[in-house]
Structure 1
Amino acid sequence: MAGAYLIGLIVMAVSMFISWRLRSKFNEYSQVGLSIGLSGKEIAEKMLRDNGIYDVRVISVEGQLTDHYNPADKTVNLSNDVYYGRSVAAAAVAAHECGHAVQHATAYTWLQFRSSMVPFLSIASSWMQWIILAGIFLLNTTPIPLAIGVALFAVTTVFSFVTLPVEYDASNRALAWIQRTGVANNREYDMAADALKWAARTYVVAAIGSLATLLYYVSLLMGGRRND
């Protein structure tokens, strides 16, 4: 159990470092203007058109790093800094989110699998922590509630690992498009690739953190069963 705590602390420290590094990279590349002069919105619309996608809207949303693609209503949602920005960072983020739209349009397997898990996870996440908490309190009486909570958490861990190929593939599609179309010069391309690399690492750490937490709950469950 002490090992699980140590792993958790290490993952937390790494996560904090990567989050800090990601924000510093995006702040740095947000100050570098894209030589072609296009905004994030224009980059997104161009990438969608170049991939033959005309039924996806590009809209702005509040917040920072809130950018995402919504397959339910087919919208590329860009934060204001990305939507209106004409920087390397804005181009990288906009192209990445359009990478998800391309995945959707081409029925990318991992995205379909991930999307199929969302309805269950949205329901499970509302109850999971309460079930785990109750399971911990009742562990000396019965292991069943904690076992159910662990099973639900295991699904969220699988989801976090399924997210990895989805995110990396979206970045690869974005960078390939940027390079192919020449919307960024070599220096700007390297910056965009660097920014997306750090963004992807946040998902890696999140997946590892989820796995570490799952193993901790499993150790609690196994310990409780041995005490029966």
Structure 2
Amino acid sequence: MGIWILLIGIGIISMIVQSRFKNKFKKYSEMPLTSGMSGADIAKKMLNDNGIYDVNVISVEGQLTDHYNPSDRTVNLSPEVYHGRSVAAAAVSAHECGHAVQHAKAYTWLQFRSAMVPMVNVASKIVSFTLMIGVMLAIFSNNLFLLQIGVGALAVTTVFSFVTLPVEFDASNRALAWLNTANITHNTEEHDGAKDALKWAAMTYVVAALSALVTLLYYASMLLGRRD
């Protein structure tokens, strides 16, 4: 019963955080950047300032689809960020370049996260099926094998969620420090806006990690209860 309350609570918090993040992004997307630079301009400058010349900055379709791809060394920015000349565009583009800087400097947590990707890809594909069928088998035949696999797969994805946290926080810290020293955010209002936007983006990762942990505890308790 306690875990169910936690799951419901985390679900409510997740919706609040997601809504808050979208509202913050919208707010700072409407705040013009004094420098007048676009997200693409900012990304290219941050990469060059860090001595990175083999990473391409490209535009990808969608909203909030911004990401860094270490496999093909590209900073992928959504149209709103790529062409945008706002505080939000500056914050997001610099954050994604923060991941490129991590890659170039062999940041430990990013390396660990990248090493986990193949395992996580497999776990993500099987976790829903193994848990759903595993629970049914456990209830009706007391066969726990598939449920054990499901819990194991869920554990892998949960660990991945927590490993992601220092990677995201570090990328934001690198972004904010560079925006300040490069004089991209010219005044306190712009710097505080970029910091606020990235804070709420990071909160979505925190809530996702906590949700994954509570879900893991739920299925793990079910598995342990069936063993007794």
- Calculate the TM-score normalised by the size of structure 1: 0.97
The count of aligned residue pairs is 225
Per the TM alignment, residue 145 of structure 1 is displaced from its structure 2 partner at its CA by: 1.2
CA distance in 2, matches of 1:25, 1:51: 28
String of CA shifts for 1:111-159, please: whole Å, max 9, x gaps. Answer: 0000011111112211121111121011142212111110111010000
**Letter in structure 1 aligned against 2:97:** C
Correspondence for 1:203: 205
Equivalent positions of 1:38-57 (< 5 A) are 38-57=37-56
2:81 is matched with 82
1:216 aligned to which of 197, 215, 218: 218
The separation in 2 between residues aligned to 1:104 and 1:223, in whole angstroms, is 43
1:34 matches 2:36? no
- Paired with 2:126 and 2:144, the residues of 1 have a C-alpha distance of 17
8 A contact 2:126–2:153 mirrored in 1:
no
User: More deviation in 166-175 or 118-127?
Assistant: 118-127
181-190 vs 154-163, which deviates more? 181-190
| Counterpart-to-counterpart distance in 2, 1:168 and 1:201 | 10
Give the deviation of 1:56 after TM superposition.
Answer: 0.2
Q: Which residue of 2 aligns with 1:157?
A: 158
Aligned ranges 1:55-204 → 2 under 5 Å: 55-139=54-138, 140-185=141-186, 186-204=188-206
List structure 1 runs of 4+ shifted beyond 2 angstroms: none
Unaligned runs of 5+ in 2: none
1-side partners of 2:130 and 2:14: how far apart? 26
SS in 2 for 1:204: helix
1:171-210 deviation line (CA, Å, top 9, x unaligned) = 0000000111111122100100000000000000000000
Tell me the percent identity. Answer: 60
Return the letter of the residue paired with 2:169.
Y
TM-score (norm 2): 0.97
